[in-house]
């Protein structure tokens, strides 16, 4: 792995938190991600299943975790299965974790080869009534059913053990993963710091005439050289009017003098992700109009970080409407909304947010949980909680004027005051202009 070894204590604590949520007469099974096939005999880079990594730290395919916290034999309360290696595998694929290495990484004493799983599981299932199985239950997931190893195992397990009770593991893990440990916060901070290095690099590189993909290449270079696998998500390098396409990923246009570039790009580190957005002028200088819109977005970002995001507040029902009312005032000041129209809408308390006039200029959410997944899992009715890491990403999009502006930082939610994990990454327009001009 490119990243430094993570102490096993982190994974031991994560499993302990899950174990107390499982009924005594139950067991739970989690599988690694598949090695993703591309076409013919080619594969794409392997990315570990988030839940399995959260509980074990094993970053390798063909891995299974079996948890049985109420088992009378302490040695069978958690069993890890990893792929058996060989001299041939070592020649063709390189090193795979040994049983001893898996124990060191995960803190699990009972580690066996994956070929032993069926026999162990059969013995465990005989003495337990409930089997907890995992599935991707992210609210925005579009993954097909029976696609992952967890999904395929569910189908076979329910066929072989039809008289057992089955339960969902995902809701338990969603509740656990929303609050980040000190170790997880440190890993996310490392990802944010690497992202900052990439942003600093491109401030001295961007100029009229460069292509969007050249900027992408500069960022990737900087991320990888600091121990990242690369981008946390598909990078958005959107110059000019491209910024009004929220998920623009073509990244092939020439950056023109006088335009802005919206950069939604970030690094991952040790499977933990950051999520950054900055908007900078191609020629190093904001026009008065661009600066006015930029500063409006920046004020909204700061308002969210400093006042609106607090533990206990509901994402959609409380936080987003509060942010939207402030954004409406900024849009009125920019001459984009009519004050009387806004007042009339506010008088309609039951008017849905998506029907309000401001949505023409800012049509997406402003915050999501961040962690092993970029859009990290949360309970169904998510509220901000202590030690949750979230993004703050307001924007204003002006297709008629040929530009859009979005700014985004990652914060650690604290009752005593939120901590901006990207506070060291330049965001003030004057600082952006100075750095692009080579003035330190």
Domain segments of the chain: what residues?
9-177, 182-205+218-229+266-277+285-436
Place of tokens 């191609």: 282
The yes-or-no answer on residue 393 being catalytic is yes
The yes-or-no answer on residue 222 being catalytic is no
- From the candidates 38, 41, 340, 381, give the one annotated as an active-site residue: 41
Cα torsion through 72, 76, 78, 80, rounded to 10? -170
330 phi and psi angles, rounded to 5 deg: -65, -40
Q: What is the reported pTM?
A: 0.95
C-alpha distances in angstroms, 177 versus 13, 84, 198, 304? 12, 30, 28, 23
| Cβ–Cβ under 8 Å, residues 70 and 58 | no
- From the candidates 408, 410, 420, 433, give the one annotated as an active-site residue: 408
Which CATH number applies to 9-177: 3.40.350.10, 3.20.20.120, 3.20.20.30, 3.40.50.720? 3.40.350.10
- From the candidates 330, 368, 373, 433, give the one annotated as an active-site residue: 368
Residue 143, pLDDT > 70, answer: no
Per-residue pLDDT, 114: 97
Local structure of residue 46 (DSSP, 8 states): P
Per-residue pLDDT, 144: 62
Mean pLDDT of 240-266: 97
Place of tokens 């335009």: 259
The yes-or-no answer on residue 54 being catalytic is no
- From the candidates 222, 264, 268, 376, give the one annotated as an active-site residue: 264
Residue 146, pLDDT > 70, answer: no
Residue 440, pLDDT > 80, answer: no
Q: What fold does the segment set 182-205+218-229+266-277+285-436 form as a domain?
A: Creatine Amidinohydrolase (3.90.230)
pLDDT band at residue 125 under the 50/70/90 scheme: very high
64-67 β-sheet, strand order: 110-113, 78-82, 64-67, 26-31, 130-133, 165-168
Per-residue pLDDT, 141: 78
How many angstroms separate the CA atoms of 409 and 407, rounded? 7
The yes-or-no answer on residue 135 being catalytic is no
The yes-or-no answer on residue 346 being catalytic is no
Do the bridges between strand 389-392 and strand 403-406 make them parallel or antiparallel, or are there none, so unpaired?
unpaired
Among 138-152, 154-168, 176-190, 314-328, which is the least confidently predicted range?
138-152
pLDDT band at residue 298 under the 50/70/90 scheme: very high
- From the candidates 275, 330, 420, 433, give the one annotated as an active-site residue: 275
Residue 46, pLDDT > 80, answer: yes
What kind and span of H or E run contains 110?
A: strand 110-113
The yes-or-no answer on residue 31 being catalytic is no
Q: Helix, strand, or coil here: 209?
A: coil
Local structure of residue 32 (DSSP, 8 states): P
- From the candidates 268, 328, 376, 393, give the one annotated as an active-site residue: 393
| Cβ–Cβ under 8 Å, residues 236 and 264 | yes
The yes-or-no answer on residue 164 being catalytic is no
Per-residue pLDDT, 145: 52
Give which of 218, 221, 258, 213 is closest to 238, Cα–Cα. 213
C-alpha distances in angstroms, 60 versus 82, 130, 233? 8, 28, 20
How many angstroms separate the CA atoms of 422 and 93, rounded? 37
pLDDT band at residue 349 under the 50/70/90 scheme: confident
Cross-strand partners of 39: 42
- The number of CA neighbours under 13 Å toward the Cβ of 215 is 33
Cα torsion through 138, 25, 106, 386, rounded to 10? 50
Mean pLDDT of 195-221: 98
Do the bridges between strand 130-133 and strand 26-31 make them parallel or antiparallel, or are there none, so unpaired?
parallel
Residue 135, pLDDT > 60, answer: yes
The yes-or-no answer on residue 161 being catalytic is no
Give which of 328, 329, 363, 332 is closest to 244, Cα–Cα. 363
- From the candidates 247, 314, 325, 346, give the one annotated as an active-site residue: 247
Mean pLDDT of 227-244: 97
- From the candidates 328, 406, 410, 433, give the one annotated as an active-site residue: 406
- From the candidates 221, 364, 401, 430, give the one annotated as an active-site residue: 364
- 152 CB neighbour count, 10 Å cutoff: 13
Q: What percent of the chain stands above pLDDT 90?
A: 90
- From the candidates 269, 358, 375, 420, give the one annotated as an active-site residue: 375
The yes-or-no answer on residue 259 being catalytic is no
pLDDT band at residue 372 under the 50/70/90 scheme: very high
């Amino acid at each position: 792995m490119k990243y430094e070894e993570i102490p096993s204590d982190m994974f031991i604590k994560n499993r302990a938190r899950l174990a107390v949520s499982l009924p005594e007469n139950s067991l739970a099974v989690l599988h690694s991600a598949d090695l993703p096939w591309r076409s013919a005999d080619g594969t794409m880079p392997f990315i570990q299943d988030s839940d399995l990594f959260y509980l074990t730290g094993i970053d390798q395919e063909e891995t299974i975790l079996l948890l049985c916290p109420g088992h009378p034999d302490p040695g069978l309360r958690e069993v890890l299965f990893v792929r058996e290696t060989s001299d041939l595998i070592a020649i063709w694929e390189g090193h795979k974790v040994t049983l001893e290495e898996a124990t060191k990484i995960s803190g699990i004493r009972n580690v066996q080869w994956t070929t032993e799983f069926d026999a162990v599981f059969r013995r465990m299932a005989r003495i337990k009534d409930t089997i907890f199985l995992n599935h991707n239950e992210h609210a925005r997931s579009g993954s097909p059913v029976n696609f992952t190893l967890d999904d395929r195992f569910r189908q076979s397990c329910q066929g072989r053990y039809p008289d057992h009770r089955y339960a969902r593991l995902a809701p338990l893990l969603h509740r656990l993963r929303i609050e980040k440990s000190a170790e997880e916060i440190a890993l996310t901070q490392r990802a944010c710091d690497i992202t900052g290095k990439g942003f600093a690099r491109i401030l001295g590189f961007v100029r009229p005439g460069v292509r969007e993909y050249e900027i992408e290449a500069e960022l990737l270079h900087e991320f990888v050289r600091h121990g990242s696998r690369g981008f946390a998500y598909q990078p958005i390098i959107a110059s000019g009017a491209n910024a009004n396409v929220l998920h623009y990923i073509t990244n092939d246009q020439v950056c023109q003098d006088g335009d802005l570039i919206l950069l939604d790009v970030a690094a991952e580190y040790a499977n933990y992700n950051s999520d950054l957005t900055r908007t900078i002028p191609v020629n190093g200088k904001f026009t008065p109009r661009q600066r006015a819109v930029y500063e409006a977005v920046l004020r909204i970002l700061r308002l969210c970080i400093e006042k609106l995001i607090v533990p206990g507040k509901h994402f959609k029902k409380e936080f987003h409407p509060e942010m939207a009312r402030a954004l409406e005032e900024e849009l009125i000041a920019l001459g984009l909304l009519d004050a009387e129209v806004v007042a009339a809408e506010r008088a309609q308390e039951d008017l849905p947010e998506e029907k309000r006039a401001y949505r023409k200029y800012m049509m997406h959410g402003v915050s999501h949980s961040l962690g092993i997944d970029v859009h990290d899992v949360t309970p169904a009715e998510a509220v901000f909680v202590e030690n949750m890491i979230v993004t703050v990403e307001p924007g204003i999009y002006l297709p008629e004027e040929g530009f859009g502006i979005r700014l985004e930082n990652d914060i650690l939610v604290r009752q005593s005051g939120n901590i901006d994990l990207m506070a060291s990454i330049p965001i003030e327009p004057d600082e952006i202009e100075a750095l692009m001009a080579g003035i330190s």
